Chains A and B, each alone.
Chain A
Amino acid sequence: MTSYTDKIQEAAKRLLEEGKVDMVIGYRKGSVPMMNQPHYAKSAGEAEALIWDSHCGLNLANYLTDREDKVGIVAKGCDSRNIVNHIVENKIKREKVYIIGVPCTGMVDRHKLPKMVDGEISDVEEDGDTITVKTVNGDTKNFNKADVLQQNCADCSHRNPVIYDEMIAEPVEEQTDTDMFASVREIEAMSPEEKWDYFDDLISTCIRCYACRNACPLCYCPVCFVDESDPQWVGKSQDPIDVRTFHWLRAYHCAGRCTDCGACERVCPMGIKIREFTKKLNKDCYELYGWEAGLTAEERPPLDTYRPNDPEDFIK
């Protein structure tokens, strides 16, 4: 995917020089391995810092919320689905955004890769499907990209942007044999006590930094329920009740809207598998309403609408 870099820069320079956009939002190379930084270019010179590789795993739609200038944005499949969400939810106007579509082959799991090598990672390079990891003690190890992908990328069936103004490359082949709900079924098979313990264990290391919430393009409420002070709905301490309340309620707020972009998991400093919450809701929306979020701006999301034939056998 590194070959996209030149084309992204080219597109960004052209758009800026032609005055079609005020800025282009993309990534620049980060200062530590596996971390690229969201970057805006307002001039052709600044566009030269734009890059693309397998470490662009944030969701840039997050940077579009309520923008009123004309913005160009580099968008892979999931980013584009969140742009659709933003359009549907009136957080950005379609005509205010110019989408530079990037066909994606998945992002490297920055939590998993360090566990697969001995010693501190000093550099990660890629050549096609080969990911080469160098460590500070001078070791080099090659991996197949498929083995080091973020789980949501391994399971992804929408790698190509669903909405764009231009594509910087031919679409990649979509994965059709993935099973994105395998882990949900495992949890569904648990007893209520096992489920309780599973989720308690899952969030036991949470420090309530809210990186998951703040990296999520869906979480744009002017004041989040956990930040309300009058009335204050949720306690601020490490009391497990409050930590649970945050994670559960946030997940419910994402029902029918989550595109499984994985930004929440990627940014978690403690490596918590936060998608375990949202995936169950994605599965329910898929099975009950045949709905996957962010695929079309022409239809209202299921939790936004009522249809007489909506399934209701879960109401007991």
Chain B
Amino acid sequence: MKIVQIDKSQWTSGIEKLKEGYRVFAPVKNDLFHDFKDLEKGEAPDFNFQNTRLSPKSIVYPQSEILFRYTLDKNSEEYGILKEDEKDKTPKAVIGIRPCDAYSFILVKRNFDTPYYKDPYWVEEYQKSTFIGLACNDPCPTCFCTSTGTGPFDEQGLDALVIDDGDHYLAKLLTEKGEKLFSAAGWTTEADPSAEGRIEELKSAAESKVTSKVGTDNLKSQKMLDLYEAPFWEEVAFSCINCGTCTYVCPTCWCFDIQDETYGKQGVRIRNWDTCMSPLFTLHASGHNPRGSKVDRVRQRFMHKLKYYVDKYDNGIQCVGCGRCVRMCPVNIDIRRVCNMMNSYDPESCVCEVTSV
């Protein structure tokens, strides 16, 4: 593995070079917060952020994505044919993605890219993306990534990891894709041999700053129905207003809905993110709703992330510990608290540990 050093003065010129061959997505700041943006010419990433308000999942999996177009014009030769929407084939460079968010793509891949089923839209966008991570030297108080199988310097899911080291960046090139991108940007100066030790130092320092932890060790051995029937759900769900904030800001929430939308005689088949917090999510055509109450829906979200996923994939929880839902839930439902309750629940005594986070 190669480590390169990039003087910060060479950074923006490298980004500009990248734009010749890639669509470059990177964090920029609007009035209130940072979010990933498809950078225009001359526009530079702004790395003065802790994490972006929304996760970068939309770069691979947009909130609304047209799949097909059709015409209802009977005189047209294409009448009745669903034509696949043309996609921009340009490779995407995702610059400055946090390690937790990069790891989220691995979790989502387990669902969208399997030997039995491949979601062609997700897979195509994922494959044409190169993920250049930005290590977290200063994690947020709401970060609990070290409990979820990732961490502030984690390399899983990344093609390269960039580390801010004062007046320069150090970058670990992790894959061929990553190397290709770095040479396209002209960032090729090999770092001093001491760089590896320096990165390890920064990594330990960062990991020790992640003080928020959750317990997940018992989730797998808990019986599904014990957790499903646990008495704490009413209390957990009380403040919930059933908005979709937690699911839309979550990097690992993958559910969608497909709709046909027609304007005059032209139409599109479009898929949109959906949210299990909405009653409409499970409403049957008959009018029956198997998840008819707020408590049912809140339980579903946590059971999916912290139990069904755990059982199905045997690879940890469906949460990367980015803390977005913790920060943005309008009524302060904290997944860390719920995870600890589920993990510590004793079905014999019906007791669980209630932590302050």
B32 close to A31 (CB less than 8 A): no
Whether B140 lies near A120 (C-beta < 8 A) is: yes
On chain B, the residues within 8 Å of A227 by CB distance are 278-280
The answer to whether A269 touches B261 (Cβ under 8 A) is no
Residue B64 at the chain A interface, CB threshold 8 Å? yes
Total contacting residues, chain A, CB less than 8 A: 40
For A63, list chain B residues within 8 Å (CB).
238
User: Which chain A residues border B121 with CB–CB below 8 Å?
Assistant: none
Cβ contacts under 8 Å, A269 to chain B: 53, 245, 248-249, 328, 330
Does A1 interact with chain B (Cβ within 8 Å)? no
Cβ B337 vs Cβ A38 within 8 A: no
With A31-B326, A58-B330 known as contacts, the answer to whether A237 contacts B245 (CB < 8 A) is no
The residues of A that contact B140 with a CB separation of less than 8 Å are: 120, 136
| Residues of chain A lying within 8 A (CB to CB) of residue B64 | 236-239
| Contact status A205-B244, CB under 8 Å | no
Asked if B331 and A58 sit within 8 Å, CB to CB, the answer is yes
Shortest distance between the CB of A27 and any CB in chain B (Å) = 9
A-contacting residues, B234-249, CB 8 Å: 238-239, 241-245, 248-249
CB pair B356 A209 closer than 8 Å: no
Q: What residues on A are CB-neighbors of B32 within 8 Å?
A: 111, 115, 270-271
Kindly state whether residue B206 has any CB partner on chain A within 8 Å.
Answer: no
In the complex where A62-B241, A236-B272 touch, is A211 in contact with B278 (Cβ < 8 A)?
no
Per-residue CB proximity of A241-270 to B under 8 Å, as 1/0?
A: 000000000000000000000000011111
Contacts of B71 in A (CB 8 A): none
Would you give the 0/1 interface string for B267-297, flagging 1 where the beta carbon is closer than 8 Å to chain A? 0001010010011100100000000000000
A209 to B272, Cβ gap below 8 A?
no
| Cross-interface CB contact of B241 among A40, A120, A214, A270, cutoff 8 Å | A214
Query: Which residue of the partner chain A has the closest CB to B243?
Result: A211
- Name the distance in Å between B16's Cβ and chain A's nearest Cβ: 26
Q: B331-354 CB contact bits vs A (8 Å, 1 = yes)?
A: 111101100000000000000000
- Which B positions have Cβ atoms within 8 angstroms of A? 30-33, 50, 53-54, 63-64, 138, 140-142, 238-239, 241-245, 248-249, 257, 259, 261, 270, 272, 275, 278-280, 283, 326-334, 336-337, 356-357
Which of chain A's residues have a CB closer than 8 A to the CB of B259? 235-237
On whether A209 and B239 interact (CB within 8 A), knowing A229-B280, A236-B257, the answer reads no
Cα distance, A39 to B332, chains bound together (Å): 11
One of A207, A208, A213, A267 near B54 (C-beta < 8 A): A207
Residue of A nearest to B357 (CB): A31
What residue in chain A is nearest B244 (Cβ atoms)?
Answer: A209
B278, closest chain A residue (CB): A227
Contacts of A122 in B (CB 8 A): 141
Chain B residue contacts of A207, Cβ below 8 A: 54, 63, 244, 248
The yes or no answer to A87 lying at the interface (CB within 8 A) is no
Q: Among the listed A38, A235, A238, A266, which residue makes an inter-chain contact with B239, where contact means beta carbons less than 8 Å apart?
A: A38
Q: Is A291 an interface residue (CB 8 A)?
A: no
CB closest chain-A residue, reference B249: A269
Nearest B residue to A30, CB-CB = B332
Which residue of B50, B241, B249 has the most chain A CB atoms within 10 A of its CB atom? Answer: B241
A132 at the interface (CB under 8 A from B): no
B32, B54, B63, B259: most-surrounded residue (chain A CB, <10 A):
B32
Contacts of A30 in B (CB 8 A): 332
* Segment 209-247 of A: residues with Cβ below 8 Å from B: 209-211, 213-215, 223, 227, 229, 235-239
Beyond A63-B238, A136-B138, 5 additional contacts (C-beta under 8 Å) are A31-B336, A207-B63, A211-B244, A215-B243, A229-B283
Bound-complex Cα distance A136 to B142 (A):
11
Docked CA distance A210–B330 (Å)? 11
Chain B hits for A111, CB < 8 A: 32
**Are A209's CB and B245's CB within 8 A?**
yes
Is A288 in the interface zone, CB < 8 Å from B?
no
Contacts of B53 in A (CB 8 A): 269-270
Whether A180 sits at the interface, judged by CB under 8 Å, is: no
> Shortest distance in angstroms between B301's beta carbon and chain A's nearest beta carbon?
14
Contact with B along A5-39 (1 / 0, CB 8 A): 00000000000000000000000001110011111
Pick from B50, B244, B328, B333: contact of A37, CB under 8 Å: B333
Residues of chain B within 8 A (CB-CB) of A271 are 31-33
Can you list 5 contacts pairing A with B, beta carbon distance less than 8 Å?
A35-B332, A38-B239, A40-B238, A229-B283, A271-B31
Give min CB distance, A50 to chain B, whole Å.
13
- B54–chain A nearest beta-carbon distance, Å: 7
Enumerate the 6 nearest inter-chain pairs by beta-carbon distance, A residue then B residue, closest first.
Answer: A267-B330, A211-B243, A237-B64, A214-B241, A37-B332, A38-B239
B243 contacts A214, CB within 8 Å? yes
Partner of A238, one of B63, B278, B283: B63
Most buried by A among B243, B261, B278, B327: B243
Q: Which residue of B lies closest to A270 (CB)?
A: B53
Closest to B66 in A: A237
In angstroms, Cα B330 to Cα A211, docked, is 7
Q: How far is the CA of A229 from the CA of B357 in the complex (A)?
A: 38
- A111-B31 Cα distance, complex, nearest whole Å: 11
A230 CA to B238 CA in the complex, in Å?
30
